[in-house]
Amino acid sequence: MSWLLNNIVAQRKDRHRADVYRSIMQYEARLGGELFGPIAKGNRREFFCLDERTWVWHEEYTDDTGKRQIVTTRYDIRPGGILKSQGANSYVGLSESEERHFRQAVRLYAQRVGGELHRLATAG
């Protein structure tokens, strides 16, 4: 019986840990999306670090014709450079300008998100 209770408690802790991680990722993604200016009502923009070498830009908006557009760009940082992929397309290298903008966005993200998380952790 004690094994069962311990197993239930462990599963709840794992679920809680996963929920907290998911909430932090969503918060970071929202903050990252705000780095690029205001987001129009009804639109969604996210920019976040998925893991140590993967970044994601996700945007949902309504175009001039009224059609809903969804664009997700994945950036993979590799020893030979930064590659990007959109949708089902294969990876391509960034242009010099794209790489400069990407690096600037990552720096801003680290400052903004790191500062916010530090502020939240020390509030109280």
Mean pLDDT of 84-106: 92
Partners of 85 in the β-ladder: 74
Split into its structural domains, the chain has a count of 1
The answer to whether 38 and 44 have CB atoms below 8 angstroms apart is: no
pLDDT for position 19 = 78
- Strand ranges, E, within 14-109: 44-51, 54-62, 68-78, 81-86, 92-93
Residue range(s) defining the domain that contains residue 77: 2-122
pLDDT of 89 = 79
Measure the CA–CA gap between 60 and 68, rounded to whole angstroms: 7
Give me the pLDDT at residue 124, please. Answer: 59
More confident residue, 13 or 35: 35
Return the pLDDT at 114. 78
The percent of residues in the chain predicted with pLDDT above 90, rounded, is: 49
Distance CA 77, CA 103 (A): 11
- The pair of structure tokens assigned to 104 is 């600037």
- Pairing outcome for strands 44-51 and 68-78: unpaired
pTM to 2 decimals? 0.77
